[in-house]
Amino acid sequence: MQSNDARILRGAAIPTACVGLVGVLVGAVTAGASGAIGAAIGAVLVLAFFGAGLYGLSRVGQRWPELFLGAGFLVYTTQVIVMFILLRVFRDATFMDGRVFGFTMAAGVFVWLAGQAWTHTRTKTFYVEPDTAKTPVDSESRA
C-alpha cells in the first residue's frame, strides 16, 4: 500500500471508528446490550468492507492503473449492494437491535465516504509517476 493510500485509509477509518464508538454508546443507552452489540457489528462491518475495498483499489491502481476507474465503480457498487443485503438479513435478528445496527451502519458508511473524499482532496497524488532513473534534458543541449 502506498503512503497516499495509507493516509486515505487513516483519514476514513479513524472517523468511522469514532462514529462506531458513539453508536455503541448510544445503542447501549437506548436499547441496552442488544443495541451495543448491533452498533458494534455495524461499525465493524463498515470498517471491514470499506477497508478491504480501499485496499483492493490500491492493488489495482498499482498493477493496472488503466482499470482503476472501472474497478472503483465495481468496488463501490458491490459495497453498497452487500451493505443493503446485510441490512435486510440482520433486520430481524434477535441477538441485536436491528434499528441501532442499521443507523450505525448508515452513519459509518456516510462518515467513511466523507472522510475518504476529504482526505483524498488533501493528499498530493501524482497523476503520472516521474521516472527517476532518467536525467532531465536541458533545452540548450537539444539544439
- Give this prediction's pTM: 0.78
Segment 47-79, tens digit of pLDDT: 999 999 988 888 888 888 888 889 989 998 998
Establish if 143 belongs to a structural domain.
no
Q: Is residue 102 part of a domain?
A: yes
Task: Return the H-helix or E-strand segment holding 2.
Answer: none
Instruction: Please check the confidence at residue 131 and state whether its pLDDT lies above 70.
Output: no
53 close to 76: Cβ distance less than 8 angstroms:
yes
In the chain, how many domains are there? 1
Residue 139 lies in a domain: no
In the DSSP assignment, the letter for residue 93 is: -
CA–CA distance, 32 with 37 (Å, rounded to integer): 9
Chain position carrying cell 475518504: 116
Give a yes or no: residue 134 inside a domain: no
Q: What is the pLDDT of residues 7-36, one digit of tens each?
A: 888 889 999 999 999 999 999 999 999 999
What amino acid is encoded at 13 in this protein?
A
| Alpha carbon separation from 95 to 10, 35, 38 (Å, rounded) | 31, 9, 8
Q: Domain limits at 106?
A: 3-122
Q: Does 55 map to a domain? A: yes
In a domain, 129, yes or no: no
Q: What is the pLDDT of residues 104-124, one digit of tens each?
A: 999 999 999 999 889 888 877
